[in-house]
A and B are shown apart, each in its own frame.
Chain A
Amino acid sequence: MTTQASAAASVTDAASSEYLVFSLGEEEYAVDILKVQEIRGYENVTRIANVPAFIKGVTNLRGVIVPIIDLRLKFNLENVEYGGQTVVIVVNVADRIVGIVVDGVSDVMSLTQEQIKPAPEFGVTLSSDYLNGIGSLDDRMLVLVDIEKLLTHEEMQLVEHTAASA
């Protein structure tokens, strides 16, 4: 399913696709806007014991229990603070609803295929497997995150391992 979805994504990439741009510290990232369900504030998160630190817990999204993940902790960023500006992007991946905590959401960008460069083979904390590429827009660099691959990966401990291998 994952491969199908990304294949479909790359087809639409041929023309141009829209990305939601968000910031983690000083860095700018972007996710496919079609995966985004809504954006809301960070509040009322119930902690879950014995899970990695980047899993902040679960929250109530209109009657649905949704796990919240802090990408800043996952990406080892410093100065992780929770304030009025902290935003949760609710994404819909692999038939699941997951909230990801980011420092802020800036805008929605339309990127053409030419503007998307392949992701370089680097990354200790963020493997290039999880990236759709690097979006280059004037002098801005957007890291295009393949949110579905990232969140369903075993390392995230978000889904049971059997589901992760699918």
Chain B
Amino acid sequence: MDISDFYDTFFEEADELLADMERLLLDLDVDDPDSEELNAIFRAAHSIKGGAGTFGFTVLQETTHRLENLLDHTRRGELTLRRDIVDTFLETKDMLHDQLDAYRNGDEPDAAAFERICRVLQQMALDELGQQEGAATAPPPQPAAPAAEEPAVAASSQEASSEAGESDSAVRLVITLLGVDEQDRHLLIEELGHFGEIGEHAGDTERYRIELKSAESQTDIEAVLCFIIEAEQLVIESVNDAPAAAESTPADSAQAASSSETAKASAAGSEGQAESQTVASAAAPATQEKAAAPAKEAKAKPAKNAKGSESSTIRVPVDKVDQIINLVGELIITQSMLEQTANDMDIVSHGPLVNGMNLLQRNARDLQESVMSIRMMPMDYVFSRFPRLVRDLADKLGKDVELVTEGKSTELDKSLIERIMDPLTHLVRNSLDHGLESPEKRQAAGKPTTGRLTLSAQHQGGNILIEVIDDGAGLNRERILAKARSNGLTVSDSMSDDDVWQMIFAPGFSTADQVSDVSGRGVGMDVVKRNIQEMGGHVEILSRTGQGTTTRIVLPLTLAILDGMSIRCGKETFLLPLNAVLESLQPVADDIYSMAGNDQLLKVRDEYLPIITLHQALDVQGAKTQVTEAIAVIVQGEGRRYALMVDDLVGQQQVVVKNLETNYRKVPGISAATILGDGSVALILDIADLHRLDRRKAQQRQENQRQLSPEVSPA
């Protein structure tokens, strides 16, 4: 898979995050902001930044980075919110959206707009915090002289307009806003203030007239204003009260046109000049329209592209898909019921019916398959995103890293795949940044200089386990405790390691000495934990000093498909996860050994496996009680092997895992349930838990026997 396959996913995610950010910003109470909301806005910005970094969208990454810095200050209460600050944040959000659209259409985002927003954010940081951030990357703010501000990278038409600014021939423009409400109008006037001097302005919502004295070209002004309103809502005319100005303006704009077009166009420019000399006032808008025309054309193109790409995917709420899956399941069951009835009929007299049934069967199966495939995706979809990220980060951090992925084909519900992406990205970044040491340190510690980062996925015990394993330095207990104390958390030195590791999930917790743009801001783990919990799972950390850290994400199987082996015991059917089944065999009496009286072991190729008798563990009536009559299925759970005694093997089938806890509760020895072809429910066995259950019941039986025996022996 190519990384560009994931662009769309990122765009969709970023779109959602931006929408969330906007909603939160709009809901925000400026005087008394909710810290939870501020955190949420910050996290949204952080996630976009992370994604943009992964895909190499530098402009987007840089813009979000600046926004994030400000948001971080806000979140920590160092920057007091005001209405206009929120407005700026919203404006930045709009800008991010434009940048995103540009990337989506395969273009570079507008460099001028990027420079402008960076300046605005930087200015805000300066004004509000008295600190200068990233001064090296952007020119110092000079809001008083907008013409001089224009960056060198700007388009040639802008060069022309800055020339106009230098020649001090500011044009008086009349901007008419059509159907713009008060709020937007306020924004627009503020925006226009950046371009020059605002003169008289008056009017109503339908028609509002603003006079502006500015050296900027109309195209630029229009382009900026179009971030807020539609182009149709805007009419810009230049008014020339002095003939001298009239002469110079068209000439300038003609120049602008000529510099952006070919020599032929320059002829048109001189034409415009000629015109302007004769009919000065009328010619000015005409030539300027010409200058604006190419810009408009350029704009129209990406808009078309955007429409073309929109139809490739469709986002549907998960519960709608769930409902379809359930209904299709019901349809299949009804179909097999009908089929049984039809099979009993005479094929000669009911030919068409039987044919129809066959057709129905095929269509129903196809339908089921396609519906199922909507939701399921291999973990490869997630994992293949990382090689690039790991490589780039490793280069940046000066570390040698080898990435290993395991269990790529493990299928996971699409909704989980989408939601696991962000947490996993955070974890990988953390492992690279803080976990793995530099080659020198590794060598000093006697480890191979190349660090190893493993991503693995597997189904286990009714859960999906996703692990991020590094062989780095491990977590530093002392530093976490010290950091926790300085953050005002209550800690004690006697806390268990597990409790200490859990603390890194607290909001705002980071043990990194430096805030880098990779990680170390402390939001990462906070986001990870929250996301995983929202998915109904949990995160565990195993760490050993000097040997590395394993972060394990455990997700419940909400709708994972399971390859199962159906088995029979008595009259009941159960399912075993196929990946837990190693082999099956008919045991002979010689291979069965008993230990300490009651425990039985089965010898399989020089290995002694504990026997679990299914009918005893689950109280199945009418099962084969003689071990030699039954079939031994060699299974593994939690890394250990057992011999599970069952009556019969029925077959192999793919089933949809249904959670028992939705309406009921956890059942010992059972991980989940599924619905079989006949519509009945079958339980999926949890090997390790079944073994524990079997042992518990064996102990109970022993105790009961002991209680009974004194009564029996005297008699």
Contact = CB atoms under 8 A, between A and B. Distances in A.
Whether chain B is bound by chain A comes out as yes
Interface of A: 44, 46-51, 57-60, 62-67, 96-98, 157-160
Given A60-B675, A63-B325, A160 B683 contact: no
A46 B663 contact: no
8 contacts: A44-B679, A46-B673, A48-B683, A59-B680, A64-B658, A65-B658, A65-B663, A158-B665
Contacts of A58: 660, 664, 673, 681
Nearest to A96: B663
A135 to B, nearest CB: 28
B666 A64 contact: no
B650 to A, nearest CB: 15
**Chain B interface residue number, banded:** 20 to 34
Contacts of B325: 63
A65 B675 CA distance: 8
B179 interface: no
Contacts of A158: 664-665
A65 B326 contact: no
Contacts of A51: 667
Contact of B618 (A44, A49, A63, A65): A49
Given A63-B326, A65-B673, A44 B680 contact: yes
Contact of B680 (A46, A50, A157): A46
Contacts of B330: 62-63
B680 A67 contact: no
Interface string B442-469: 0000000000000000000000000000
Interface in B608-634: 617-620
B329 interface: yes
Interface string B23-61: 000000000000000000000000000000000000000
Contact of A63 (B327, B664, B682, B697): B327
B378 interface: no
Contacts of B682: 46
B669 interface: yes
Contacts of A67: 663-664
B667 A48 contact: yes
Given A65-B658, A65-B660, 17 more contacts: A44-B678, A44-B681, A46-B673, A46-B681, A47-B572, A48-B683, A49-B618, A50-B619, A50-B667, A58-B673, A63-B325, A63-B327, A63-B329, A65-B664, A96-B663, A96-B664, A159-B665
Contact of A60 (B619, B681, B693): B681
Contacts of A65: 658-660, 662-664, 673, 675, 681
A46 B573 CA distance: 9
A78 B239 CA distance: 99
B663 A66 contact: yes
A59 B663 contact: no
B292 interface: no
Contacts of A66: 663-664
B151 interface: no
B394 to A, nearest CB: 44
A98 B664 CA distance: 8
B670 interface: yes
Contacts of B693: 50
B486 to A, nearest CB: 34
Contacts of B664: 58, 65-67, 96, 158
Contacts of A159: 665
B668 interface: yes
A58 B665 CA distance: 11
A48 B670 contact: yes
Interface in B574-623: 617-620
